[in-house]
Amino acid sequence: MHANGRVFVTDGVIRRALAIARALGRSGVTVTCGEETALNPTFFSRYCHHRFKYPSPRRNPGEFVPVLLDYLEKNPHDCLMPAEQDTLDIILQNRHEFERLTAVPFVDNETYQVFRDKGKTLDVAERAGVPYPRTVRPSDPGRVVEETKSLRFPVVVKPRFNWASRGIRHVQDATQLAQAYREVHQVFPFPLVQEEIPLGEKKYHVNCILDENSRPIVANVHRELRNYPLEYGISTVQESVWRPDLVELSVQLLQANNWYGIASIDYMIDPRDGTPMLMEVNPRFWGTIQLAIHCGLNYPYMLYQLARGEKIEPVKTYPVGVINRSFLPYDILHFLVNPHRFQMEPSFFDFFGPQVHFDLLSRQDWKPVLGFFMTCLRYMADPEVWTRLAHMERVGRWIARLSGKSVNPVTPNEAIANIELSTADACSTDRHSIT
């Protein structure tokens, strides 16, 4: 065992689990990674010292909990770090059982659920004075057009409980709203209807850790530079930036909910007046955490120190202009569909710039790339993946008929999010102070 103890990281198939394992391992922590299959990128990492296969927390939560508890009882760990939203949901629902065996450095389930619910999140934002788009919470799906007359189109139908853009529908006028709302309501009951913020600047993300007294230990900001799909898809390239106004808003928001631990807050800047608008709070590790780690902000290790009760000096500086690329597969896909592919900044062909980094690719830890491709091959042979993409591919419809499974239509954004679930998740030296 390494001198700095032992941490169990879940969900090895997603790239943030790989980032967490690398960050902890490089800090001298012994890392155990768990996943339902051995074919995942994190299991291939040199920083994954032990590997454990467990039942799927999404498909078999009733089996997942006792199996993981049994493993932790037989193999003591100092800390448990769930990397995926669904897994964190389950672990916090059974927090008292897990805390008998290890530290769980997250808030209690009641506090956590406030930010899991986008409606309750807006209630906290209202108290904290954090601006957000005009929103209506329809009480009757049959009267949604009447109840949202005060909103300006286009609008967004947004599930209260979701992540990775699943279930979000962009609606251009009232004639489309009733049907769009009904379709989302069938899967995600009583979604919100929110005015859409016009596209201007890309989305900003504020990432924080707060201590047990809700005081900020570290915070940083990054913005999205490219996405796939082009407008509202997964971020393929991110850049660290300096936005103390967004940090201040985010700390206000988190403190209004007595927050502890890690969180990531998303904003869009309204191009009409420059107002930062709250989009959502992710009460977990975020997908692009590798950028913060490239900036020297070791969030996983700081959270581990917090779990152990160690004193942590607040981190008040970080470099701006650091670039992180999700090259496999998203930045490649962006390049293929962007009509201005040869005018992009940073250039698609900038692989070796002093501030350009990658989330999956690493000279010191290259084997996860093999794990990524093996994961892709595994899931390409999984009929469930194709049934989730059946509206896009004729072969998916054929496989769905063979498997006898129903196919629920999903949007292109949802399809890309599903691929992330199934396959991978998948610098300027100027320094600025965090106030």
Tell me the per-residue pLDDT of 243-256, one tens digit each, with 9 for 90 and over.
Answer: 999 999 999 999 99
Of 39-48, 206-215, 341-350, 426-435, minimum mean pLDDT range: 426-435
Asked if 134-195 and 204-350 have one fold, the answer is no
What is the model's pTM? Answer: 0.88
Query: What are the pLDDT digits (tens) for 254-286?
Result: 999 999 999 999 999 999 999 999 999 999 999
Residue 121 burial (10 A CB sphere; 0-12, 13-18, 19+): buried
Percentage of the chain exceeding pLDDT 70: 86
Residue ranges of alpha helices (H) inside 117-243 are 118-128, 144-147, 174-187
Percentage of the chain exceeding pLDDT 90: 81
**pLDDT the model gives residue 4:** 78
Is-contact 291 238, C-beta < 8 A? yes
Amino acid 48 reads: C
Is-contact 11 34, C-beta < 8 A? yes
The domain 204-350 is classified under which CATH number: 3.30.470.20, 3.40.50.1820, 3.30.70.360, 3.40.50.720? 3.30.470.20
3-class secondary-structure state, position 133: coil
For the chain, give every domain's residue range: 6-104, 134-195, 204-350, 382-424
Give the residue-averaged pLDDT of 408-427: 40
pLDDT at 420 over 50: no
Q: Check residue 328 and report its DSSP letter.
A: I
Amino acid 173 reads: D
Is the four-CA dihedral 197, 203, 204, 210 of positive or negative sign? positive
pLDDT at 426 over 80: no
Superfamily of domain 134-195: ATP-grasp fold, A domain (3.30.1490.20)
The CATH class of 6-104 is alpha beta
- Backbone φ and ψ for 157, nearest 5 degrees, come out as -90, 115
**pLDDT the model gives residue 384:** 63
Cα separation of 377 and 371, whole Å? 10
**pLDDT the model gives residue 163:** 64
**pLDDT the model gives residue 164:** 61
